[in-house]
Structure 1
Amino acid sequence: MRASNLALVLGEVLAHSGSVSRADIASRLGMTRSTVSRLVDDLILGELVVEGEAVGGARGRPAVPLMVRPGTVYALGLEVNVERMVASLVDLTGEVRAKRHLNTDVEQLTVEEGMAHLSRMAQEILDEMPDGARISGAMLAIPGLIDREGLRVLRSPNLEWDNLEPGEFWHVEFGGAPVPLKVRNDVDCSALTVLREAPGSSFLYVTGEVGIGAAVSMDGQLLSGRHGWASELGHICVDPHGRMCGCGARGCLETVAGAHAVLSLAGQPDIDGVLHALENEDPTALAAVETVAAALGIAIGAALNLLDLSIVRLGGHLASLRSWLRAPLQRELATRVLWAPHSGIELEFVEHSPSRAATGAGLAALGRVTSGPATWVDPLLKR
């Protein structure tokens, strides 16, 4: 019971860091103030929570705000994608405290070579950790299907990392012990950073890299599906007679709206070139955006009809195209979503960050702490 209550109290501090007091938590959780106070004291001694300066109220004793303690417990958030590798160190506040970024053609590397690069990047970060720091583990964000246990990459068409366990090629230690590695879909990891900015919300998150990835949040919980493979929007068919996709099917959304497809349609070498062409009203680039909007409308419209979500958040290169993409996509959704005339569809654009998936992976790896803080608190209480 105490372990469960510790997790509940820490969850309240995480959700309202800096603006929640012991009395607030007691009221929200229906616990007595004395029980919450004891639990908070344990979290403070366990170096997960810290008290702020007392804030005076209209009457009664001043409230003391509680905050997540920075710089004590960390996780490694990692990403391997087609054109980059990222290793980041994320603490319990969600802030990135250290990072290594390598731009490289991962498709030209073997799995052993790629994981050796990533291991070195991660080890460099850990070798610079402050005294007394603790590591909850490491999470690797991969574009593809991951098994339910978070150990095996079942299929990653863009990387060609299929049916393998990255942990077999992972060699990182901290404090003389190996750092455990788990694997998760990269877009699910990215979505965790979006959720941190809008906790408890429901939305469809669609982001563009080489391919198109998606995640669904229902009341703040990511929809994973029975096997953990939900939300593969990039492989919804938008043109049965279209181009062959890396997954082996024809006419998937990412063959029209993925980064390589957008560049090909616009006749430009990179996204900056596409944006420049659009700013100059180049007809080829403008036509490309219309084609992308139509394909997105088919796939996103189908998802909204199925899931009854009214907020769509777009990231990656799709967010870069916001000024030209918003209006045609809004028109497509207004036509394709059955309930659109009765309830508005909100299109929001998430700022592009090449480190978003790695940061989200770090947040996921911190789940061992947030779901079971007693394991991290109790050893310090015994000192």
Structure 2
Amino acid sequence: MTPQDPSAAKMTQSSVRSANLALVLSRIPGEEGSVSRADIAAQLGMTRSTVSRLIDDLIVGRLVREGETSAGGRGRPAVPLNLQRRSVVSLGLEVNVERLVATLVDLTGEVLVVRQRDLDVVALDPADAMGQLAELATEALEGRPAGSRLTGATLALPGLLDRSGTRVLRAPNLGWEGVEPSALWRLSVDGEPVALRSANDIDCSALTVLRDDPQASFIYVTGEVGIGSAVAINGEILAGRSGWAAELGHVCVDPHGHLCGCGSIGCLESVAGARGLLRDSGQPGVASLIAAAEADEDLALATIEGAADALGIALSAALNLLDVENIRLGGHLGQLEPFMRDRLAAVLNQRVLWARHSGIEVEVVERAPLRAAMGAGLAGLGQVIADPATWIDELLAD
């Protein structure tokens, strides 16, 4: 019998502990949670003593805090557990067509700081845009809680990125192609460079929706200059093999339609994106389009109806393919939802095969423009949830 290598056994024990810490931490809510050590032990099928030791480590490591004891029924009163506020923070950033945003988000999902510059980013050289973003991030970090640890920075971008999240493959509305944002990024904290990775902006936005409903399934579609979308199935973002899934804005709704910014013809974005809506309505902005619709102006109402038809066609194809019942609308699509509601419902009920047998819910997501940067911050904190041992073992050794 071959003797076991002690170092391999030690590594195995360490790996099991790391995995168990991640499992326990994933069960602890950010705020107003009522979960206790006994609840987590029951959920995970672990002994109470094992869970208690893991929780103790997470508390010393400043990732978890105990709330006030709540008197229940029989036995020892339960002590509720929550994620620790303001102990670990992440920079959530966004570069979009008309703005730069920097946020500071903590482990509970609370947005501690927001800094924003509204400007024509398309007119900027990518290096200039990233330089200004670093300045904005520096301003945001001035509000960093004393003693907090920074996980790094995540940048939300409106386009396709490579699998590693380092290179922009295509961002047609931004005009970036082949750009590597991390190569143009210069930011240090306490003498150490702050690492940057990039992600799709709507995938980041969808993370903010999942924070409020962790097991949800939905199609999230938001409108600004273009149309962005994301799909969540049972709490997981549908990324696809290369991370390029859920590009609903570039589903063809009219093969004889207008040229889209992506270079194709008749995409949903060319009809329901801001440029398409303003082109067809003759209005200078979305706010004026809404005002015209409220005044029952025929052209405004006809334009919105056309956008509802196009959105319904694209969404029907997605719902038939994915079997998802919930649609979340953000940005100008959320603002226009009251005017699109009946028409959109009619198209969905006609085209979705199972619509008569199961209801289709359409909800409006508020604060859509800020959600990309907020979600980028949450994405950066995902590494702490996935591998808490890395973040607590240094403190445990002190």
Task: Provide the TM-score with structure 2 as the length reference.
Answer: 0.94
The CA deviation at 1:276 is: 1.2
Secondary structure in structure 2 of the residue aligned to 1:354: helix
Secondary structure in structure 2 of the residue aligned to 1:335: helix
Residue of structure 2 equivalent to 1:251: 266
Specify every segment of 5 or more residues in structure 2 that has no aligned partner in the other structure, as ranges: 1-15
Residue of structure 2 equivalent to 1:91: 106
1:177 to 192, 212, 221: 192
1:48 to 54, 63, 71: 63
| Distance in 2 (alpha carbons) for counterparts of 1:104 and 1:274 | 22
| Distance in 1 (alpha carbons) for counterparts of 2:240 and 2:133 | 29
Q: Which moved more, 1:14-23 or 1:39-48?
A: 14-23
1:155 to 166, 170, 186: 170
Deviations 1:164-221 (A, max 9, x none): 2100110011121111100000000000001111111111111111111111101000
The AA in structure 1 aligned to 2:134 is S
1:8 to 12, 19, 23: 23
Q: Which moved more, 1:261-270 or 1:40-49?
A: 261-270
The 5 Å alignment of 1:36-185 reads 36-185=51-200
1:262 to 277, 291, 315: 277
| Distance in 1 (alpha carbons) for counterparts of 2:146 and 2:393 | 19
The 5 Å alignment of 1:221-370 reads 221-370=236-385
Do the aligned partners of 2:31 and 2:108 also contact (CA within 8 Å) in 1?
Answer: no
Deviations 1:16-55 (A, max 9, x none): 7522110110010111110111100000000011000000
Secondary structure in structure 2 of the residue aligned to 1:242: coil
The 5 Å alignment of 1:202-213 reads 202-213=217-228
| Distance in 1 (alpha carbons) for counterparts of 2:286 and 2:76 | 56
The CA deviation at 1:252 is: 0.6
Aligned alpha-carbon RMSD (Å): 1.1
Q: Which moved more, 1:339-348 or 1:122-131?
A: 122-131
Q: Which moved more, 1:334-343 or 1:102-111?
A: 334-343
Do the aligned partners of 1:208 and 1:318 also contact (CA within 8 Å) in 2?
Answer: yes
The AA in structure 2 aligned to 1:76 is L
The AA in structure 2 aligned to 1:364 is A
Aligned pair 1:199/2:214, yes or no? yes
| Distance in 1 (alpha carbons) for counterparts of 2:317 and 2:285 | 29
The AA in structure 1 aligned to 2:148 is A
Task: Provide the TM-score with structure 1 as the length reference.
Answer: 0.98
Aligned pair 1:31/2:46, yes or no? yes
* Bigger Cα Rg: 2
Do the aligned partners of 1:15 and 1:199 also contact (CA within 8 Å) in 2?
Answer: no
| Distance in 1 (alpha carbons) for counterparts of 2:294 and 2:141 | 44
Do the aligned partners of 1:201 and 1:218 also contact (CA within 8 Å) in 2?
Answer: yes
How many pairs were matched up? 383
| Distance in 1 (alpha carbons) for counterparts of 2:277 and 2:45 | 52
Do the aligned partners of 1:153 and 1:162 also contact (CA within 8 Å) in 2?
Answer: yes
Residue of structure 1 equivalent to 2:11: none
Q: Percent identity?
A: 58
Do the aligned partners of 1:75 and 1:136 also contact (CA within 8 Å) in 2?
Answer: yes
Do the aligned partners of 2:63 and 2:84 also contact (CA within 8 Å) in 1?
Answer: yes
The CA deviation at 1:15 is: 6.8
The AA in structure 1 aligned to 2:19 is S
The AA in structure 1 aligned to 2:386 is S
The CA deviation at 1:266 is: 2.5
Do the aligned partners of 1:17 and 1:68 also contact (CA within 8 Å) in 2?
Answer: no
The AA in structure 2 aligned to 1:175 is D
The AA in structure 1 aligned to 2:178 is N
The AA in structure 1 aligned to 2:212 is E
The AA in structure 1 aligned to 2:317 is A
2:232 to 211, 217, 220: 217
Deviations 1:230-249 (A, max 9, x none): 00000011111111111110
| Distance in 1 (alpha carbons) for counterparts of 2:97 and 2:359 | 36
Residue of structure 1 equivalent to 2:3: none
Specify every segment of 5 or more residues in structure 1 that has no aligned partner in the other structure, as ranges: none
The AA in structure 1 aligned to 2:55 is V
The CA deviation at 1:367 is: 1.1
| Distance in 2 (alpha carbons) for counterparts of 1:179 and 1:221 | 27
Do the aligned partners of 2:21 and 2:389 also contact (CA within 8 Å) in 1?
Answer: yes
Secondary structure in structure 2 of the residue aligned to 1:213: strand
